[in-house]
Structure 1
Amino acid sequence: MTHNTPLSPRPLRHLSHVHRRVLTTAQLRSHGVSANEIAEQSRPGGPWQQLLPGVILLHPGPATSEERLHGALLFAARESTPGVPAQPTPDSPHRSVYPEAMITGLAALTLHGFSSTPPLLSLDHVDVLVPRLRRLRSTSYVRVIRTSALPAPEPVTGLPVAPVPRALADAVAELADAAAVRRLLTEAVRGRHCEPAAVVRELTQAKLLSRPHVVDAVDSLVAEGRALAEDRLYRMVHEYGLPDPVWNVDLRLPGGPHLGGLDAYWPDHAVGVELDTRAPHQGHRQDEDAQWSEYARKREHLERLGITVVHITPQKLRDSMEQQAAVVRTALMAAGDRDPAAYVVVLPR
């Protein structure tokens, strides 16, 4: 046997095509390797080693970060039916290779490209998300996290990875460092990995908003999300050639009550834009509903005065800016066909 190959030259030569040198004992047996041979190859000092219970590393050296991740998924995945490919290939999607398992937590965030998370090899453990009813215990470097509803995984470098909001919630659940939590949430928004509202929903479902350091970080997150949405609104106006509005204003009736604030307003057209950056801070649906009711009351009041209010969410600005610009342009063009609006006082907000 040559020293630069980790595989036995006996009946195991047909395993030389295996791309990742991590297989379960069941997969090895499907390749014709007996249980005795697996035990022999994996003995101390042998050419293989047991990476995790039922998971074999087909070389004697330390596992790479990729091998650790694939090993964790093989350990946590529901046992495949016969005939399912043992390794990912272009014709074999990851979901069939690692059924009911995906990487989450800090490892998932690192895979998503976060810079504030540790390198994969420096992580003490890899979090793997599985269905709640799976009979599986954390072991070695694998920490099992259960959920009643698995999200749809996102493929990253051939691995099934939890979406950023879910991975953030699983990471934050284990962090007591307020600065670390704030860095993660801030990077999620600044790096445009996800919208603040999606993160807050996951933190709410995970019952993490009872922790003061998480609530403080969420407040910063929502402020960060609003600033980013305002920047996108500014870019939309200029990139799509809309007339310049007045920005961030309060409207009042002359000598009368305050009518509400708008993020952009075109006085000559009586058209305004309001960003909906609602997020349930304390996890109470009624709070969100009350905030929405306030939006609706303000909009109805302004429209009774002849002022058109275009309601835009940050996600729509991110995903369909051109479409939102068309909606605003249509409202501006329609202004000439409406009765003149009531006179209002426009004040900086």
Structure 2
Amino acid sequence: MITVAHLEALGVPQVTSYRRCLPGGPWQRLLPGVVLLRTGAPTRRQLVEGALVYSGDQAVVTGLESCRHHGLKRVAGPGEPIHLLLPAHLKTTSSGYVLIERTKRMPEPVRSDGLPLAPAVRAVLDECRRLRERPPIRALLAEAVQQLGVDPGELSAELAQGSRRGSALPRDVLKEIAHGARSAAEADAMALVRRTGLPEPVWNFSIHDERGRHIATPDAWFDEVALAWEIDSYEFHFGQPGYASTLARNNRYAAAGIVLVQTLPSRLRTDPAAVIADLVAAYRSAAARPRPPVVLVGRSE
């Protein structure tokens, strides 16, 4: 990866560089003034390096590209831009697959695999500010908390310090996470349960039997009637135990006299009315029988 200006300094005229980038030539032009000295489709890494060559040595990679290098398990989608931060006084603009954001709040880069990355908290929120729908914002913030170990408090602080542009939805989702949602599905469930007319449950609290033995930590718990709601899916609960463990958990619920509702995450969006009906029916059933002697203990971290 090299600039046309650098090639010219090495004795290669500009006209020669651009001629070699014509169809069928041995090189290819990635961005204005940036040449890849090989044929074939560039790799994602080469695209990132080309973006940094184009933007200069003060550029910092942010957004999803930075999140992936920090450990977020997401594959680059077709056409996904490479988002870079540059100091506000520079004049470089977006071009091709490169999204340039000039800012007065340049983060101290974290070096990883030779790349200057925005810290995870900044990278996540830079991506969230670009999104316009709640579900992908929920998914990204929940995955950042679960997979990257990002502190929701740090996310809130960074959001407060940064630009207010595009911050309203991330701010709302962070409130959901602060109230106990550990996944994108649980955040969806929090929004849905408010439509049921039922009392607000607590989220991710441990339940014990009368002898102090742990029963489970349901996603949502309606304590007044001892009703548990589990959002069960490998898709959202990373590292969740297997099927046998889920059966064992359900058996403990049954033995303790707890009413259980299980919901797949996909139904929260594809059939919310049916999920609401399930919850309301289960709540009424739970309220109609004597409450079992189970104890709400505390939030599971």
Q: CA deviation at 1:184?
A: 1.3
Contact kept, 8 Å, 1:49 with 1:57, in 2: the verdict is yes
Match of 2:62 in 1: 104
Change (3 A) 1:177 1:68: same
CA distance in 2, matches of 1:214, 1:170: 10
Q: CA deviation at 1:220?
A: 2.5
Equivalent residue for 1:134, pick from 82, 90, 108:
90
2:164 is the alignment partner of 1:207: yes
Matches within 5 A, 1:1-349: 22-77=1-56, 99-115=57-73, 117=74, 119-120=75-76, 122-204=78-160, 205-207=162-164, 211=168, 213-224=169-180
Provide, for residues 134-161 of structure 1, a one-character-per-residue CA deviation record: whole Å limited to 9, x for no partner: 1111111111011102111111221111
TM-score, L = length of structure 1: 0.49
SS of match in other structure, 1:122:
coil
Q: CA deviation at 1:225?
A: 8.9
Q: CA deviation at 1:209?
A: 7.5
Contact kept, 8 Å, 1:129 with 1:146, in 2: the verdict is yes
Q: CA deviation at 1:202?
A: 2.0
Provide, for residues 30-76 of structure 1, a one-character-per-residue CA deviation record: whole Å limited to 9, x for no partner: 43323232123222321111110010011121111011000011111
CA distance in 2, matches of 1:172, 1:181: 6
Q: CA deviation at 1:222?
A: 2.1
Instruction: Name stretches of at least 5 consecutive residues in structure 2 with no aligned partner.
Output: 183-296
Count of matched residue positions in the alignment of Structure 1 and Structure 2: 186
SS of match in other structure, 1:140:
coil
Provide, for residues 196-225 of structure 1, a one-character-per-residue CA deviation record: whole Å limited to 9, x for no partner: 2221122222215862x3233111332359
Provide, for residues 218-241 of structure 1, a one-character-per-residue CA deviation record: whole Å limited to 9, x for no partner: 113323599xxxxxxxxxxxxxxx
- The amino acid that maps onto 1:135 is K
CA distance in 2, matches of 1:139, 1:55: 11
- The amino acid that maps onto 2:174 is V
SS of match in other structure, 2:40:
coil
Provide, for residues 170-216 of structure 1, a one-character-per-residue CA deviation record: whole Å limited to 9, x for no partner: 101111121111111112222244222221122222215862x3233
Instruction: Name stretches of at least 5 consecutive residues in structure 1 with no aligned partner.
Output: 1-21, 78-98, 227-347
CA RMSD of superposed structures (Å): 2.6
TM-score, L = length of structure 2: 0.56
Contact kept, 8 Å, 2:71 with 2:148, in 1: the verdict is no
Match of 2:212 in 1: none
Structure 1 consecutive aligned stretches of length 4 or more whose deviation exceeds 4 Å: none
Match of 1:298 in 2: none
- The amino acid that maps onto 2:84 is V
Match of 1:310 in 2: none
Match of 2:288 in 1: none
Contact kept, 8 Å, 1:130 with 1:145, in 2: the verdict is yes
SS of match in other structure, 2:179:
helix
Contact kept, 8 Å, 2:61 with 2:117, in 1: the verdict is yes
- The amino acid that maps onto 1:206 is S
- The amino acid that maps onto 2:64 is L
Which of these two proteins has the greater Rg computed from alpha carbons? 1
Provide, for residues 106-159 of structure 1, a one-character-per-residue CA deviation record: whole Å limited to 9, x for no partner: 2111222212x4x23634211111011111111111110111021111112211
